[in-house]
Amino acid sequence: KAGVTQTPRYLIKTRGQQVTLSCSPISGHRSVSWYQQTPGQGLQFLFEYFSETQRNKGNFPGRFSGRQFSNSRSEMNVSTLELGDSALYLCASSLGGDSVGYTFGSGTRLTVV
Amino acid sequence: AQSVTQLDSQVPVFEEAPVELRCNYSSSVSVYLFWYVQYPNQGLQLLLKYLSGSTLVKGINGFEAEFNKSQTSFHLRKPSVHISDTAEYFCAVSDSGAGSYQLTFGKGTKLSVIP
């Protein structure tokens, strides 16, 4: 079956713009999480959604937001982009409930110039 | 709060030699433990996970890890590495009781297999 699909794979934006990243989870998975990966800070948790509800949020400014749709697809949005937002953004999906363990997508590489 | 320390940022090893990648964690609650591998320009692939039961966990590609609760460690081992094992490896922990399995990652260990 298809894995976690993230689009686009690469993105270049200008400082001050906003960006929306998309994640389609594995069919049947209801939980979606987002992580930011940078060389300096490593992998950091952004937020998690389960059945369209945000269950948990990491320590990121309000410029970072997300949502989940009824078909479990998720989007994350970053407004007023800063150079430091350049990173690999990874989405991961899970069945949720008592199922433990996430399957990650290949990520979206965002470069802010 | 939880934290993960991967003690080695880089580990060079010769092909067919054994390797151990070290991971220690800190948590005030019971945890689940994971090892992920990341190849260049790709996402994370789950190697293995410890949820409960036997402390020796076997994963994909010949990797295994041992959970040691007293030493709060979860070291990853492989008896004989291959060139294709060259990648970055991440240890991660999550709270087993929270109902939300947010992962806290270590900084990663880059494994370089030398032919």
Q: What are the tens digits of pLDDT across the range B36-72?
A: 999 988 899 999 999 888 899 999 999 999 999 999 9
Assign A1 a pLDDT band (cuts: 50, 70, 90). Answer: low
Q: Is the pLDDT of residue A60 over 90?
A: yes
Q: What CA–CA distance (Å, rounded) separates A31 from A74?
A: 10
Q: pLDDT category, A96, cuts 50, 70, 90? A: confident
Nearest to B102 among A42, A56, A104 (CB): A56
- Give the residue from chain A lying closest to B108, CA to CA: A42
Contacts with A, B 14-33, CB within 8 Å: 32
Residue B99 has pLDDT above 80, yes or no: no
B51 touches chain A (CB under 8 A): yes
Q: What is the pLDDT of residues A8-24, one digit of tens each?
A: 999 999 999 999 999 99
For A57, which residue in chain B has the nearest alpha carbon? B102
Q: How far is CA A69 from the centre of its chain?
A: 14
Percent of chain B clearing pLDDT 70 (strictly above):
97
Task: Burial-class residue B101 by CB neighbours within 10 Å (0-12, 13-18, 19+).
Answer: buried
Average pLDDT over residues A42-51: 94
Q: What is the pLDDT of residues A20-40, one digit of tens each?
A: 999 999 999 999 999 999 999
Output the average pLDDT for chain B.
93
Interface of A with B (CB under 8 A): 4, 6, 31, 33, 35, 42-45, 48, 50, 55-56, 58, 90, 92, 94, 100-107, 109
The dihedral of CA A48, A54, A55, A60: what is its sign? positive
State whether A48 and B102 contact (CB < 8 Å).
Answer: yes
- The single residue listed with the structure tokens 């410890």 is B50
The CA distance from B16 to B46, in Å, is 22
